[in-house]
Amino acid sequence: MTAPIAGGGALPGDDHNRGTNEAAPSGGHLFSLRAKVFDADDLRRAHTRIAHEIVERNHGAGDVVLVGLYTRGVAVARRLADAIERFEGVDVPVGAIDVAFYRDDIGLRRVQPLGPTEVPVDVTDRIVVLVDDVLFTGRTARAALEAITELGRPRAVQLAVLVDRGHRELPIRADFVGKNLPTKVAEDVRVRLQEVDDGEDGIEIWGPDG
Amino acid sequence: MSDLLSIDDLGATGIDELLALSESFVEVTQRDIPKIPALRGKTVVTLFYEDSTRTRLSFETAAKRLTADTMSFTAASSAVGKGESLLDTVRTIEAMGVDAMVVRHRCAGAPHRIASWIDAAVVNAGDGRHEHPTQALLDLLTLRRRLGTDGFRGLRVGIIGDVRHSRVARSGVKAFAAVGADVTVVGPPTLLPESLEGWPARATTDLDDALPELDVVYLLRIQRERLGSALVPSLREYTTRYGLTAARAARLKPDTVIMHPGPMNRGVEIAAEVADGPASIITEQVANGVAVRMAVLWSLLGSGAPVA
C-alpha cells in the first residue's frame, strides 16, 4: 500500500489518526508517505527496551498483566510478553480489551467494536500495563482506563505505547514510550506489525498532499 | 441499518457482521458486573400488544446492560382499552423522547407500519405469523458459538412443528438458508406452508425419515389455541407422530443438537428428559438472546453517526 490513497487513509483498527473509522472526508485529500521513522530492527529494539523498563519499574514482572488495546495494541502486548519471558523467565498474562463502548464520541462518529474483551486473570491488586501502538489525543487511553476498572481494581495502571505523537486533549501521559514523534494533527502515524498488517514491521508518517 | 423488521434487512453479510459483533456482548454478559455505558442517555421502549414476558424481559435486560433507559408498554395496561389507535399510541410514546421502539404485535406488518410513522429505530419482536428476526439471530449465535464461524455451510437443520403459523420458523428458515444451512421443515400437512414459495427449504411430513440426517433439531411450540381444531386433532396424536420423544432422540446422530424457542410444552413437542438432556442447547439460546439483542440495539443506536 505505497500508492497514495484517498481520505484519512487510516489502517483498519486505528483510532489515533483523524481519518480513522470515518468515511473519507468530503473532498478527501490524497495521503502520501512523508517519512519512514522506524524499520523492523528499530521496532524490535523499542519493544525490548520497553519490556526492560516495565520489569525495572515494577521490581520484576510477577504482578504485571499486559492488556493490549485492539487491534495493534494486542500484538504489541504479546511481543512485550515474549520479551519479558526471554530475559526474566516469567510468563506474563496478556489480555485484550475493546474500548469502543467506553468512548466519549459514541454517536458523533462511527464507532465499531473490534473484538471481545479477554483478560485471562483477575486484575484486582495486579499491576495492569495498558498497551497501545500510538498515543495521540489520549481519548482512547481514557476509555481504556474506564474499561479496565470495570473488570476490577488494579493496584496500579500504567500505559505503554510505541509512539507518542503529541496533541493531547486530556491530562494523560504514557509511562513507557518507544519513540516521541512530533507530528502535525493532519498527519497519520501508521504502525505496521506483521501479525496485523501485511509486509514488514515499521512506523511511517503519512501526510496530505498539497 | 435504521430498523430491524425482517431477516431480509440484514442479508448474509449483515447476519455475519451482527453475529461477530454479538461475541463482544456475550463477553459483557459474562462479567461480574454485566453493564457497559455504551447507550447512556438513550431510551428504549418495549411496545407489546401481545403477551410475551420472556422476549420483553430479554430486550429490557439487553437495553439495561447497555445503560439505556427503558420504558415498557403493554396493551393490557394501556389506553388501548380506551380505544386509542396504534398511530396515536406510537406518536404519544415518541413524543416522550424515545430512540428505539421494540414492537410485538399480533398483526403482521405492524412494526413496518410503525417504522414508517416515526424517526426512532424500530425492532420487530414478533409480528403475527410474519417474522421474529432476533429469535433467528440468537439461534444462529448459539450454533455459531458451538460449531465455529464455518459451521453453518451444509448444516442440516430440521424445523419441526407448526411451521405454517410460526414467525419463528419464517425468520429461522430465511436466516439458516442465508448462512448456508440446508433446511427442512417437518410437520403434518395442515401445519406446513401451503406453498414453499418464499421458504428456502424442503418440506416433509415424515419426521422419522428425516431425523437421522439432521445436525440440528429445532422444535416449534405447539400453540394450545390450535388444539382441538381441524389443524391438530389431538395432542396425543401430534406427540406420537411429531414429538421428540426419548425414543426418537436416541436415533439422532451423536453430535446433533436440540433447540426450542420456548416456552416449551414438555411432553408434547419435546419430552422432558430430552429438553434437559446433554444434546439440548435450549438454555444457551436464552442466554445468547440478551447478547444478540444488545448487538441489535447497539447497531441501531450506538455504532453510527447521529441522524441529522
Q: pLDDT digit string (tens) for B30-39?
A: 999 999 999 9
Inspect the interface and report whether the beta carbons of B28 and A101 lie closer than 8 Å.
yes
Residues B170-209: tens digit of each pLDDT:
999 999 999 999 999 999 999 999 999 989 999 999 999 9
Residue B135 contacts residue B171 (beta carbons within 8 Å): yes
The complex scores an ipTM of: 0.80
Q: What is the H or E stretch that residue A48 is in? A: helix A40-57
Q: Please list, in sequence order, all residues whose beta carbon lies within 8 angstroms of the beta carbon of residue A96, skipping any fewer than 6 positions away.
A: A67, A68, A69, A70, A74, A77, A115, A116, A117, A118, A119
Of residues B173, B169, B176, the one with CA closest to residue B221:
B169
A24 assigned to some structural domain: no
Q: Is residue A137 assigned to a domain?
A: yes
pLDDT digits (tens, 9 = 90+) for B268-296: 999 999 999 999 999 999 999 999 999 99
Give the pLDDT score at B79: 66
A166: left (phi over 0), alpha (psi -120 to 50) or beta: left
Write down the pLDDT at residue A6.
36
The CATH number linked to A177 is 3.40.50.2020
Compute CA A54 distance to the chain's CA centroid, rounded to the nearest angstrom. 16
CA distance A161 to chain B (A): 24
Q: What is the pLDDT of residue B81?
A: 65
Q: What is the CATH number of domain B133-281?
A: 3.40.50.1370
For A105, the domain range is 38-185+195-200
User: What is the pLDDT confidence band of residue B305, given thresholds at 50, 70 and 90?
Assistant: low
In a domain, A58, yes or no: yes
Mean pLDDT (chain B, rounded)? 93
* CA–CA separation, B99 and B41 (whole Å): 9
The nearest CA of chain B is from the CA of A29 a distance in Å of: 21
Averaged over B92-104, what is the pLDDT? 95
The pLDDT of residue A21: 36
| Structure-model confidence comparison of residues B84 and A191, the more confident one | A191
10 Å Cβ neighbour count for B71? Answer: 15
> Mean pLDDT, to the nearest integer, of B20-26?
95
- Whether residue A97 is contained in a domain is answered as yes
* Structure confidence at residue B102 (pLDDT): 98
| Predicted local confidence at residue A136, as pLDDT | 96
Does A112 touch chain B if contact means CB atoms closer than 8 Å? yes
Q: Which of A111, A115, A151 sits opposite B303 (nearest CB)?
A: A111
As for how many domains chain A has, the answer is 1
Cβ contacts of B185 within 8 Å, gap of 6 or more? B158, B159, B160, B163, B169, B173, B192, B193, B199, B201, B202, B203, B204
pTM of the model: 0.89
Whether A131 is in a domain gets the answer: yes
What pLDDT is stored for residue A9 in this prediction?
41
Between B27, B66, B304, which is nearest A116 by CB? B27
Helix (H, G, I), strand (E, B) or coil at B169: helix
Residue B133, pLDDT score: 98
**A5 belongs to a structural domain:** no
Question: Per-residue b/e over B29-54, b at no fewer than 16 CB within 10 Å?
Answer: beeeebebbbbeebbbbbbbbbebee
Phi-psi region of B262 (alpha: psi -120 to 50; beta: other; left: phi over 0): left
Q: What are phi and psi of A133, to 5 degrees?
A: -80, -45
- Chain B residues closer than 8 Å to A146 by CB: 37
Residue A144 domain-assigned (yes or no) = yes
pLDDT at B218 over 70: yes
The ranges assigned to domains in chain B are: 7-131+286-301, 133-281
pLDDT tens for chain A, residues 1 to 210: 333 333 334 455 566 776 543 334 444 568 899 999 999 999 999 999 999 999 999 999 999 999 999 999 999 999 999 999 999 999 999 999 999 999 999 888 888 899 999 999 999 999 999 999 999 999 999 999 999 999 999 999 999 999 999 999 999 999 999 999 999 999 999 999 999 998 899 999 999 886
Let me know if residue A50 belongs to a domain: yes
- B80 has pLDDT over 90: no
By C-alpha distance, the chain B residue nearest A148 is B36
CATH T-level assignment (fold) for domain B7-131+286-301: Rossmann fold (3.40.50)
